[in-house]
Amino acid sequence: MTDDRPAQLLDALHARFDSRWHVRIDGSSLWMEPRRLVVGKPKRTGDTSPGGVVQQMECALAARGIRRDALLPIRWHRDTDLCISAIQALDPWLKDAEPRVWREGFLPQPVVRFTGERGPDGQLLDGFLTAFVNLSCVTRITSVERHVKLLDAWISAFSAAGLHAGRLTLHGDLDVWTRDSVAGITIAIDADGVGLVRQPPIVV
């Protein structure tokens, strides 16, 4: 990632969101708030079951060109015994520098996380097991414009599921992080102060 990428990202955010959002910078911190705030209890219509919410988000993302892909297997057998994140779909691209991925698109992925450590003999020690469904959009991001389009797609998906854009805030640090062969800037989306999405643009 070149040094001018944060400035490019800021320009792209202004170009796409200025009519609907306040975009401001404080040092290296980015904050975005909707010009029309919504307060009070969220108003939900349609199917409010977990499956209904996933379906509504799937349709909204599909309208933006992001299709649903098949689920990853729960048993992973690589860095983890179990699938702990939908981002593992990008393992070949991120970890092996291969031009392919296991899955790409909208993934309502079941994941399992275990807090226990392994003992000297390799056996798992006591810990806590959690299992949940991680709603993810897993895709390779190679430009700031693509990153901004994905942010807009997430906002549309939340709105389709009954979470109005006026309840959302976006924030992040424009300092570039690096890890091995990839780098990026992470922007988070909160709803009523509760974290929903952490979206890192990753450029090889």
> What are 106-165's pLDDT values in tens digits?
999 999 888 778 889 888 788 888 888 989 999 888 788 888 999 999 999 988 888 888
Q: Structure tokens of 18?
A: 């200025």
Q: Does residue 42 carry a pLDDT above 90? A: no
CA dihedral 91, 93, 98, 104 (to 10 degrees): 90
pTM, 2 dp: 0.80
- Confidence (pLDDT) at 89: 93
User: Structural domain boundaries of the chain?
Assistant: 1-39+141-204, 67-138
